[in-house]
Amino acid sequence: MSERGLIALVDDVAAMRKLYEGVLKEQHDLVSFADGETFLASDTPADVVLLDIEMPGLSGYATCRKLREAGMDAVQVVFASAHDSDEERMEAYQSGGDDFITKPVNADELRAKVQAALRRRQVLRQLESRSSMAQQIAFSAMSSMGALGVILDFMRGSADLAEPTELGERLISALRAWGLRGAVRIHSHDGEKMVHTEAEGAPLQSAVMSSLKDMGRIFQMRSRAVVNYPNVSILVENLPVDDEEAIGRMRDNLAMLGETAETVVRGLNAIAERDRQQVVAQATLKELRRLITNTSALSAQNRLRSEELLGHVRDDVQSLLRGFGMTEVQESMVASELDRSTGDMLALFDEATQIEMQFGRVLARLHMLSAQRDED
């Protein structure tokens, strides 16, 4: 592949082909076709195909499927459509597409997408030249202990993971060990993350992953398949379509890999939830301690003020009684009643203090239990 790359422009509207040519001709070699049939019949060794979806005769989707059926899996297909919806993008991906651009196209976006597609094409070409034999060996190993060894190695390495991203990297390593290309989606307490086997994954991978996770446990689209669990999806793009036995083994192994990863993610989520609850509990305990401390201080202040006020009231009452000409015995009886009432009122404050002390002891035990849990 030359640095310029060969770009096939397939669109039934001549004005669109002219527009594409005007944007791309300075940097790339171009060849134009008015329909999908003519393009397929030409056997053009294109690196990238800019493919219209709505065309008479073969649609863009059908053209792409036939291209993939002919074994042209590494050719990058960028669909172009005026309809930008999740359904359109899903259909584009299921047909074998790699990217999607919305009409009317933006010149800078078109250049960027073609450049990115050429980079992916170069990477895939290098992988093809290095790994065709390795992939055959990997697929053959699915019937032996080789596949189980990859899964066991993944299980050992995932036992003590602390971050979902690390799990994604280990899943990607397992896919590479089997000679597979694709991507992994992990949904955890830390949000959703995508990891690709290539440094620059196909844009449609990320765009359709959210939809693919609802397609059932295992969903296959010719050489592409996705294995879904609630928190993990594994997408592969180069299944050996001419070997049903190898595909069956690969699906089983991917399911085992996905189930193991799902268990790990659930464990990480449980740990994160426990830690979150611990933080909430610590904050709650801290707030309770503050409230009890403030309440105790306020209660002590109120007791002192009440005792002082009641003393003043007693003195005032006694002064008034002297003016009423009461006998000493009568004054003594009234004073005794005032003292008893004052004592009863102060006893209520003392009872509240005892309750606060009990709360303090319970709070101390909760702090101790929380600290022990942190150590565990």
Among 26-35, 58-67, 160-169, 305-314, which stretch is predicted with the lowest mean pLDDT?
A: 305-314
Residue 31 confidence (pLDDT): 97
Strands (E) across the chain are located at: 6-10, 29-33, 48-52, 76-81, 99-102, 182-188, 191-196, 218-221, 224-228, 232-236
State the pLDDT confidence band at 17, using cuts at 50, 70 and 90: very high
What is the three-class DSSP state of 82? coil
Q: HEC string of 214-268?
A: CCCCEEEECCEEEEECCCEEEEECCCCCCCHHHHHHHHHHHHHHHHHHHHHHHHH
Residue 159 has pLDDT above 90, yes or no: no
Most confident of 82-91, 240-249, 341-350: 82-91
Rg, C-alpha atoms of the chain: 38
The Cα 121–Cα 48 span in angstroms is: 8
The Cα 329–Cα 311 span in angstroms is: 20
Mean of pLDDT values over 286-313: 72
117: enclosing H helix or E strand? helix 107-140
Residue 238 confidence (pLDDT): 84
Mean of pLDDT values over 134-149: 56
What does each C-alpha distance from 221 to 43, 72, 101, 192 come to in angstroms?
24, 15, 22, 24
pLDDT digits (tens, 9 = 90+) for 246-277: 788 888 889 999 998 998 888 888 887 777 77
Residue 151 confidence (pLDDT): 84
Residue scoring higher pLDDT (20 or 156): 20
Strand partners, 234: 184, 227
Identity of residue 249: R
Residue 108 has pLDDT above 70, yes or no: yes
Task: Give residue limits of the domains in the chain.
Answer: 6-131, 139-269, 273-375
pTM exceeds 0.85, yes or no: no
Residue 53 has pLDDT above 90, yes or no: yes
What does each C-alpha distance from 320 to 110, 277, 309 come to in angstroms?
100, 62, 17
Most confident of 130-134, 196-200, 283-287, 336-340: 196-200
Identify the CATH homologous superfamily for domain 6-131: Response regulator (3.40.50.2300)
Which CATH code for domain 139-269? 3.30.450.40
Among 165-179, 223-237, 315-329, which stretch is predicted with the lowest mean pLDDT?
A: 315-329
Residue 321 has pLDDT above 80, yes or no: no
The Cα 167–Cα 195 span in angstroms is: 10
- Mean of per-residue pLDDT scores for the chain: 81
State the pLDDT confidence band at 130, using cuts at 50, 70 and 90: low
Structure tokens that stand for 207 in this block: 């765009």
Among 35-39, 67-71, 217-221, which stretch is predicted with the lowest mean pLDDT?
A: 217-221
Residue 279 confidence (pLDDT): 75
Most confident of 39-53, 263-277, 279-293, 354-368: 39-53
